[in-house]
Amino acid sequence: MIMNIKFLFNGLEVDSDKRAYVEKKVLAVKKMLTTPERAEVDISQDKHGFYRVEVMLYEPHKSFRAEEVAQTIEAAIDLVEEKLKEQIRDDNEKQRVLSRRGARSIKKKTVIDDAARF
């Protein structure tokens, strides 16, 4: 599935290598999503020379957000990637637990005839 990636560079000139690196990292996180819609990447630089990278990933009924500040764009996007992967893993685990809990509830409510043979 193709995901739209929107880049926002606030007052920065980013070369194609760094842009490709950011896109590669966002697409790596996209593989963990079930139905990715779009992503927004906001990169800015403060007066001290640090880069702030914020990434928003959207699914139909969910969104994931991570923000980091580092000395280079690459370092910041690496940290953001790890945060996003952790959020997605936690969400997937939560869905898995809820599904299992529901299955257990149904199993407890199921009545089996005493004459049934197994």
Residue 96 above 70 pLDDT? Answer: yes
The CA distances from residue 79 to 7, 11, 33, 82, 101, in Å, are: 18, 22, 18, 5, 33
Q: With pLDDT > 70 as the criterion, what percentage of the chain qualifies?
A: 97
Predicted local distance difference test score (pLDDT) of residue 118: 64
Q: Which residue has the higher pLDDT, 89 or 112?
A: 89
The string of pLDDT tens digits covering residues 5-21 is 898 888 888 889 999 99
Residue 115 above 80 pLDDT? Answer: no
Kindly report the backbone phi and psi dihedral angles of residue 99, in degrees, each rounded to the nearest multiple of 5, phi listed first.
Answer: -65, -45
- Cα–Cα distance, 2 to 57 (Å, whole number): 13
Query: How many CA atoms, within 13 angstroms, populate the side-chain half-sphere of residue 101?
Result: 6
- In CATH, the number for domain 4-108 is 3.30.160.100
Q: What is the pTM of this model?
A: 0.81
Predicted local distance difference test score (pLDDT) of residue 90: 95
